[in-house]
Structure formats: structure tokens, C-alpha cells
Structure 1
């Protein structure tokens, strides 16, 4: 069978982010047209900017959660814009106000990754207001009132659009989640390919597992919010459990993958395994697209053929030479687990089409227990008010960078320069150097492309077409701000430059100046990334401790035959997220300066060891459910003692007759210790330099 690969742009062009981006663009454009018709184009700009400011935190979610987020975020925007309006008559006070608002914007990210947009809702509207000409208090009050009106109208529009598109949005998030599992299947196929580089394939599978974990978080938020029985919403909610059961079996199949790949004469079976996994991925992709057009999606009729071929090949070689019996036993077990995983694809089809199958998939699980909870409590931020906190350090860096940008902008002439320089700093600078560097490069390249596009549009397109270009640019910004920031930067540049031209069409478009401002802002963000930095190795001990704690909890539940399904699923969710956090940290560290990459190779070893241990636990869980006796109490107690070892504490040597689970746990603890020691050496070097 041909090795089919989906086009790379499938993930980019099919998903919630597109619908959300179109909705945001439509809302902003509607308010811009209404404000222009009522107040005039230039006078109505504050209302348009209010709508854009309110839309910053408009991300896919339920209408209840969106109402809380948009209202809270826009309240922060009103506070920051009011504060800067009051401070503008006194430049030193205005500079201090910019620093204070930037600091608070950074601290808000302590609520979690989801709160980054809230932080930007304090900062970006402030930059918008700085772009307005200095006016009398009465005119400033009118600007603020129009700004608030535009934002409030946008929030009402966004909530209405969310309610209207709720059914299609749920289908889209389910489709995206199924597609991410399909991509993971292809990654696992590479792991079993004897011709592929094992470490590279294994690392790719772990990275895709992290992406699947992130998508599952979005799916839980969208699908598990009180689905009524006997409805499409219930069937979509049930898919999460089925997908995770398939994921469990896929992970379990990798428990002895090195032994499987090395089994003599295994090439024909490994080839069939690869084909079965790729066909399964293709079928999942088919299902992910069909779910968008019907509430009763079906698999292709030949779905089972590749699974049967894999099993026939395993049956044909059932009796290997005695010398290789152990390796072939591992290969046979892996084949059965992969067949089980692929069988869940058929179960997924039934779950999406049949209410009783969906109810059986959910069982007695309380779906509300898996819903992500957002906290808006200010008390949560107190834990970050300490010298070692990455959030506090980021907040200080951001405040200093914004103040420096404001000072530099004073020497560049008109307010448009300062507006663009500060905007670049605000959107580029992130809590860690890796993300800042990536966004810096994307921002510069995106701005360059956007300037070229805007120059062509301004030179040749009439005003009516330019308004449409402005709306399309907003769609691009919001659709791709998380998925492809470079493309989002193209849209941002086009929108800003076209808007400036429409406000003052008789003036030449400042395209070259805006590109220069982007370079200045990016340079300031880069410079201040090294001020009181927080490198990834600083958090290494905490990440390793959390991983070991989650592994201990998962071990306790996975090896307990009487453990409730809900407890197992919660423990599995937590350990998947812990692995994803470690994988994300490795990705960020890989783009930090070489001198700051303390423990990067050791982190990769820990990731592989932890994944190997989880694979053995998942395999043991499947065996227990199939009727095999669980490990004895002594083995379970020893596993708990090992995983409870403190960082840096050397694990004991494994006796020759130790169970494979114990050996795998020892490998994890040893890798965690090596990783923590490498990170501590970096911290010691930093203290010595200080």
C-alpha cells in the first residue's frame, strides 16, 4: 500500500481557529463599518480599536467561559487605557504608568498559559491609545467612551456568534482531536520501522504526544461541558475516552520496542505493522473530515483489511527459533496491542453514530471532573511574588523593555513610530528566551512580507477594496496567532498599514518606516530578554519532581485491578500532561543560547525513560484487564519507594531477577537524578558568575 501523507496545510486550514478567526473578523469589520457610518471613518476609529481590543482574548471556548474571559479581559483593557489617558499630560508619569501596566500584564500570566491573552489585553490597547493625537480632557473622554462602546458591542456579537455556531464548533474540536491522534499513529509507525533512526522517531512520537495532550485539553473544555444524554453533544464527549483508550494501547505496544525492532526475521511483520498504522491514520483522517458533514460518520469499508493482514503475518511466524522466543513474544504482544488500538477506531465510529455505544464509552465517569478550571483569583498570583519566580522576572523584563521602547520612540519623531515600536515589544517578548526568539524572527519576517503586500494594495486598490483587505487581515491575525505567528504577523502589518492609509489617504504609506520600527522593537525585546533571565534549567528540579509524583500516582492506580475507571483516567491525564510539560521545556531550551542549555541531553534521556516506563505501565494495565494477575504487593511497594526518591538521590542497583517494571522505574529515577544534577550545575555557575 502507498504511504499516504496528508497535506501539511490540513491542520492549518481545517479547525476551530479558522471559524473563530472569521467570526472575529466579521465582528470587528461590522463595528468598523457601523462606527464609520455613524461618526465618520477617522472619528469612529476608537470604536474599531475597542472591538479589536475586546477580541484579543476571544479564543474557542463555551459561551459561558467566553463571557467570563471577554468581560474580565476588556475590563483590564479599560483600566489600562484610562490610566494612560490620565497620565499622558505628564511624561514622567506616563512612562511610569507604561511600566506599571506592563508589569501587571506580565504577572497576570501567572494564572496559566490561557491568561497570556488577558495580559495582552492590558498592554496592546494601551499602545493603541498612545497612537491617538493628544487632545483635551473632553475629547479624551469621548475617545474612551467610543472605545468602551466598540468593545462592549463586540463582546455581545462574539457571545451571540458562539451560541449560533456551537454545534459546528464542537464538531470541529472533535475533528481536530481525531486528526491529532492520526498524526500520532504515523509517528508510532516510524518507531516500529527498523530502517528509521530510533531516537529520532521516538523523540518525534513524544513531541506529537505533547501536541495531542494540548489538543485534548481544548477538547475537554469544549466537549465535556454538561452534554445532555442522547444527543450529538454526548456522542462527541464520549469520543475523548475512546481516543484515549486507543492512545493507551499504542503506548503499551511500545513497552519493548527496541527488542521488537531487533527481533531476527521480523522485517515482514514490522512492514505490516507500519502499513496497518498508516492505514489506521488515513481512516482517522477520513473520519475527522466526515464528522464535519454528517452526525453519523462512517469508516471506509476496507478498514479492517490492514489489521487482518498484520495478524496473518504474526500468525504465520508464530513459532520462531527457541533462541529468539523472548523477542518474538514481545513482538506478538506488541502486535496484539496495536490491533487493539486500531480496533478502537471502529469503536470510535460506533460511538459517533450510536447513543448506546456513547453511553457505554462514558460509563460511570463524571465528565465534569475532567473539565479544565480557570482561576481568576488574585491570591493565586502571590506565589509568584518571589525572586526565583519566572513570572516575576518576566514581568520586570517586560516593564523595563516597554519603558525603554517608549524612551527610544521619543527620539524617532511622530507618535506612529512609538506606537509600532511598543506594539512589537509587546507581542514579541515572552516569559522565556526561546519563545521570544521565535516570535522575534516571525515578527520581522512577517512584517517584511506584510509591508510588501500592503504597498501593493495601497498603490492599486480602491478604498472599498482596502476596507475588505482590512477585514481579511483581521481574520488572518486571529486565525493563526497561535498556530503560525509569522502568518499572523503578515496580517497584522497589512491591517495596521492599510488602516493608517485609510485614516489619512493623502499621506504616503509609511511602509519602510514601519519595517524599521519593527527591527527597533525586536532588538529591544531581544536585549531585555537577557535582563534578569529565567532559563529553562532553573525549573528543572521542579519539573522532574512533578513528573515523578505523577508517575507514582499513575503507578498506584494502573496496577490496582479494583481502581475505578475515573481514577485511572484522571491519573493518566495528569501523567500525559507531565510528559508534555517536560517535552515543551526541552523544545524551549533547544533554542536558548548554548551556554544556557544545561541538561538538554539529559532531559531527552529522561523523556525517553519516562515514556518507556509509562508504556510498561499501560501494558501491565491492559494485561490486568485481560485477566492477568497484577504485580505482587512487594513489587508495587518498591515502585512507590523508588519514585518517591528525592532529587539527586542515587537509586539502588536492580537485582538480576528484578521485574521489568522495577528496572524501568530505576531507569526513570536515575535519568531524573542526572537531569537534576546537570541543571544544578548551571544554577551553581550562574551564582558564581553573580
Structure 2
């Protein structure tokens, strides 16, 4: 059950801000035409055009990038709508255009996610234009005019937001990054709770880590593109402050990531001891403080530290002294070292949180990194069309063929309906049929459930006979929530979308009570078609596991190389390699999650893949720990380089099948930090599981 704190985070998030921008861009021009000038058809077309362009503009971006995206989106909307409306009344031409647009729109996924959104938007425009099949020819021009007005009206409003509300947009993205980092800190604190299984803790850490990476990428998209080409010495204080805070939060995540600890040994040795409670409370307090900083960043207000961790740090120092006095260092050196390392990392996290507080007021660059170098190396290069990936071409082709056949069947069923609402079948097929089988099945069921609940809620609301103002207000609220939750909670988004559509049509045709029931019937038919089409030319997610596994191992080797060459001049190379490894880990994790939605017979060694993800997360953490350790001391650089070299050679052997009884060679000499000492062992574990996945016939996979 969502709490008030969750609601507050949502209101402060980038999603709520983006959905507000999209709602205003969709509603304002259309409302002016419908209620101001009484132009219902043109106003409806205006809202359609604005919606189609808004769906391309779901992610915040810089002014120049947004202008290009909106221009291309407007051209695509108008071209598709013009082509479809010209084919009205010509069945042969229509049966050429619908399959052609459907195929090209689905196949666009091979050129990247932005191209995929653009392609499916073209399909959406085509579906909505099909509602004009019974419209008089003289009404087509007002429809296209309204469509263009909606596209341009939304573009103007969105560009005004991007220009005049640039800093609030950046602050919300930065706040979301801080909120997700606080969640990662909280997940890490759970590792010190013996009541929670360690594997559950590691899984939560992996999920939180992926969320942190996505939030960091959003800030890079906005902040670094905004800083590109600017002279760092002439920047206004707000931009400098945002840069400092972003570097701080990335460093904080890196610090927590590098805090690799032998939690199992720590739990066994100190179970029932207050040390684990103090460590857990320390991280939780720091997480709450980071959340307070996130709110202060979004609201642009000063903040004073609230949570004091001096008592926990003093108590832990006492516990460490007591453990040393009792001879624990000699009896169980691993447990003693784990406690000492945890205390050291907790103190470092506290110092970094203090720096976040200080940088809320900073007006000059407080980081050791040159701003221009960071911008040039980490600034994302935005393109609507990416170079096609070879491993994605097969999936895109199968999806395009499946999608085209499903849309053709839906069109035939739609044309057999005597009313104007059959196009909801096409819309349901478009949103429910996904590239993967498991996603299509899940989306189809969620679509039915959300539509059923949303239509029922809308009918109950209308039966209460509220005023037109109340209906319009609820429609706007439903649109706002549905847009904001479109990527986060599909079921709830469909629920509010159904309410919005029913109320919208009711405002246009007040007596049209049968609309809700028609929506339910159309949704059911569309979902059945989509679920049936999912079995045609299926592309199972297990086909992506091996190429993505190879990419992950290659990224680890680059990460090892950058870590071994870590110097003040090589800091950016290290950060770039770390980011690429975490992104590769997130990509493989997403594929595994989609694979688990598919039939059990189509899952390729799901247990091994999940274990690989958890061990890979540990390997990334240990590599970060080694890098942090190298920054602190040069005393054992040779031993550290030896550990990195051995780990790299182990991952390089993945092309050679190895038997399970192969002896494990000595890995590296002892080093003070347990993460450094364990690095080759963890790499060996990753290599073993990777081989089981790449060459399952070599092993007894039932083990």
C-alpha cells in the first residue's frame, strides 16, 4: 500500500512533472477549439495530434534535441494521417497502407528505442485516422488541420517548458537520482539484518542498482547536454551547483557499491551483537538524509543536517576495540576485517553525505574533475536512428511480421462492426502485442483488467450524475495520472486511460451510455488477437542471453583494464568503463526478467542466469572496491594488478569448455582488503556460470 512518503516522492519526481507538461500540451489547444470555438471534430483531431507527439516526448531532453524530436514527430504524424485519410473509401488502397505502416512501424525497433517509439506512434496515428471512414470528404481537411494544430501547439508548449523551466526540470531529475541512491543505501542496510536472507538482499541491491543507473542516465541526458559548449568559468551558480551534486551522488553510489563485505561471515560472527544493528542504522540514517537532500534539491531550498550518526559511529568504534581486545583479530581475522571495513565505509559515506549538504550552497566546482572533460566524455549523443544491431534484426523482423498479421486481422474484425468504436480493437492490439512472448501475454491480461476496472469506475461516476465541470476535472486528472504511470505501472495507467476515454466521449456525446460496454468488448477482442498472434514467429528471450552475456564479460574486461590503469588522469576512463559494465548488467537483468514471463520450457537455465547476475553484481562491487583501495594506497599496487590480471585472463577463457572437476589454481597473494583478495575467485565463479550457460551440453545442468 503506497504511503504518504511515496506520494510525496511521486509529486517531486520527474514523471509527475513530465506528465503535467504533456497534459497541458494535449488539453489546452484542444479545449480552446472545442469549448471556445465549438469545433468538436477539429478539437478532437487537435488532441489526437498533441497526444501522438507527446508520446515521443515522454523523456525530458535539452532544447535542441527536443526541437529535432518534435519536428520529426510532427512530420511523421502528418504524413501517416494524410496517407490514411486519402485511402478512406478505397478498400484496396487501405489494405495496402495498413499492413505497410504496421510493418514499418514495428520493424523500426531495429534502429533503437527512439525510432521504435516513433514507428509505433505512426501506427497509432493511422488507427485514429481510420475513425474517419464514414466521414464526409469535406471534413477531412478540418481533421488534418486540427491534427497539425495539435502537433504544433504541443510542440510550442513543450519547448516553452524546456526553455523557461529548464532548472526545475534538471532539479527534478537530480532529485530522482538522489531518491534512487537513497533506496540503494536502504537496500544495502538490509544486508546487516540477519533476519533477511542474503540472496534476497542481493536481488534487491541489483534492482536498486539498475534504477540508480537509469536515473543517472537521465541526469546526463539533461545536465551534460545543457553544459556542452558553455564556458565553465562563466556558468551561473545554479548550473555549477547541479554539476557538483551530480558528481557527488555518482561518487556516493560508487562508494556504497565498493563497500563489498563478507556479509555471511559478519552475520555468523556478530549475530545477536549490537554491531550489526549499529551498521544497519548508520546506513538507514544516511539514506534518510539523502532523501531530505533530494527534496531540498527539487524544491530549491536550503537544508540543515538532521540525522546525527555520531552515536552509532562511537558505539561501533567501541565494539571494534572490544573485538580487538578479545583476540578476534587472531581467532577470526576475516570477521574482524569485515567489521573494520564496514566501519571505514560507513564513515566515508557519512563524509560524502556531508559534502552533499555543503554543495547545496556551493557556487564553484568542488569536484576534482574538470567540467569540460566530463561533458565531452559522458555527454550522450542523441540520435533518432541508431545503427542496427545484428542480434536485434531477427527479433525485429519476427515482431514486424507478427504485428502486421495481427493488425490485418484486427482491421477485418473492425470493419465488420456497424458502429464507430471498433478501432479500439486495433489500438488494443498495438499496445498489447510486444516483441517478446511473455510481455505480450502479460500486457494483454493487464489491458483487459485495467479496461474492465476503468470502464466500471467511469460508469459509476457518471451514474452519480455529477456536473460537467466535475466530469472534465476527473478526465484531466485521469489523463495526468495515466501519462505519468505509463512506463511505471501499466495496469494503473490503463485503468485511468479507460476513465479518461469514456468521460471524453461522454462530454462529446452525453447520451452515449453504451460506450463503456463497447470499450470492454473491443478490448477483449483485441487482447485475444494479440495473445493469439504472440504464438506466431515467437522470438524467445533466451536467444538474447548469450550475446548479452558476451557483452557483459567484454565490459568487465574493459573495467579491469581501466581499474588497473587508474591514475588521476585516467579517472574518467575508469568512470566510463564502470558505467558501461553496470549498463550491460542492467540489460542482461532486464532480458532475464522478460524471459521469466515466458513458458517454463522456453527459459534457458533461469537459475544459472539469475546466479550469474548476482555474482556479476558482486564482481562489479569488488572491482569498485579495488579501485577505491588503489586511490587510497599504492603500497600493494603490484598485488592488485596481479588480481586484476588473473581475473581478466579467467574471463577471457569463456570460449573454451571446461569440465566441472577442473582444479582451481592459486589465485592471488593476500591483500588487506577482502574484496581485492576475492576478486579472482569471484571472476572464476562468473566464468564458471557463464560457461554453463554458453555450453550447457558440457555440464550436468541439473546440479
TM-score scaled to structure 2, two decimals?
0.90
1:262 equivalent to 2:261? Answer no
Q: Deviations over 1:271-319 (max 9, x none)?
A: 1111111111111111111222335433216255444444443343234
1:663 equivalent to 2:681? Answer yes
Q: CA deviation at 1:620?
A: 1.3
1:612 equivalent to 2:618? Answer yes
Q: Deviations over 1:168-214 (max 9, x none)?
A: 11111111110101111111111222221111111111111111111
| Structure 1 segment 285-296 matched on structure 2, within 5 A | 285-296=291-302
1:673 equivalent to 2:691? Answer yes
CA distance in 1, matches of 2:171, 2:57: 19
| Structure 1 segment 100-499 matched on structure 2, within 5 A | 100-227=100-227, 229-264=235-270, 267-300=273-306, 302-319=308-325, 320-321=327-328, 322-356=330-364, 358-360=366-368, 365-377=373-385, 380-381=387-388, 383=390, 386=393, 389-417=394-422, 419-459=423-463, 460-499=465-504
* Corresponding residue number in structure 2 for 1:645: 653
CA distance in 2, matches of 1:63, 1:679: 53
Higher mean displacement: 568-577 or 89-98: 89-98
Q: CA deviation at 1:427?
A: 1.5
* Corresponding residue number in structure 2 for 1:597: 603
Q: Deviations over 1:91-110 (max 9, x none)?
A: 24323322221222222223
CA distance in 1, matches of 2:606, 2:289: 37
Alpha carbons 2:658, 2:698 under 8 Å: kept: no
Equivalent of 1:519, from 501, 515, 524?
524
* Corresponding residue number in structure 1 for 2:11: 13
SS at match of 2:277: helix
1:630 equivalent to 2:637? Answer yes
Alpha carbons 1:447, 1:490 under 8 Å: kept: yes
Alpha carbons 2:114, 2:384 under 8 Å: kept: no
Change (3 A) 1:263 1:403: same
Alpha carbons 1:648, 1:674 under 8 Å: kept: no
CA distance in 1, matches of 2:324, 2:93: 80
SS at match of 2:306: coil
Q: Deviations over 1:54-102 (max 9, x none)?
A: 2111222222222222221222222221222222323243233222212
CA distance in 1, matches of 2:210, 2:389: 29
CA distance in 1, matches of 2:77, 2:656: 46
CA distance in 2, matches of 1:69, 1:309: 56
Q: Deviations over 1:345-370 (max 9, x none)?
A: 11122222212353446567422321
Higher mean displacement: 229-238 or 260-269: 260-269
Alpha carbons 1:191, 1:205 under 8 Å: kept: no
Alpha carbons 1:46, 1:147 under 8 Å: kept: yes
Q: CA deviation at 1:138?
A: 4.1
Q: CA deviation at 1:383?
A: 4.3
Q: CA deviation at 1:222?
A: 1.7
Alpha carbons 1:53, 1:124 under 8 Å: kept: yes
Alpha carbons 1:602, 1:678 under 8 Å: kept: no
SS at match of 1:482: coil
* Corresponding residue number in structure 1 for 2:513: 508
CA distance in 2, matches of 1:402, 1:596: 26
CA distance in 2, matches of 1:76, 1:284: 43
Q: CA deviation at 1:545?
A: 0.5
* Corresponding residue number in structure 2 for 1:29: 27
Q: CA deviation at 1:264?
A: 5.0
CA distance in 1, matches of 2:389, 2:92: 29
Change (3 A) 1:364 1:622: farther
CA distance in 2, matches of 1:363, 1:639: 33
Change (3 A) 1:462 1:647: farther
CA distance in 2, matches of 1:148, 1:507: 28
Q: CA deviation at 1:554?
A: 0.6
Q: CA deviation at 1:556?
A: 0.8
CA distance in 1, matches of 2:317, 2:697: 46
SS at match of 1:317: helix
SS at match of 2:304: coil
Change (3 A) 1:537 1:384: closer
Alpha carbons 2:282, 2:309 under 8 Å: kept: no
Q: CA deviation at 1:482?
A: 1.0
Alpha carbons 1:648, 1:676 under 8 Å: kept: no
TM-score scaled to structure 1, two decimals?
0.91
Change (3 A) 1:128 1:602: same
Alpha carbons 1:586, 1:604 under 8 Å: kept: yes
CA distance in 1, matches of 2:698, 2:302: 55
CA distance in 2, matches of 1:637, 1:254: 20
SS at match of 1:372: coil
SS at match of 1:253: coil
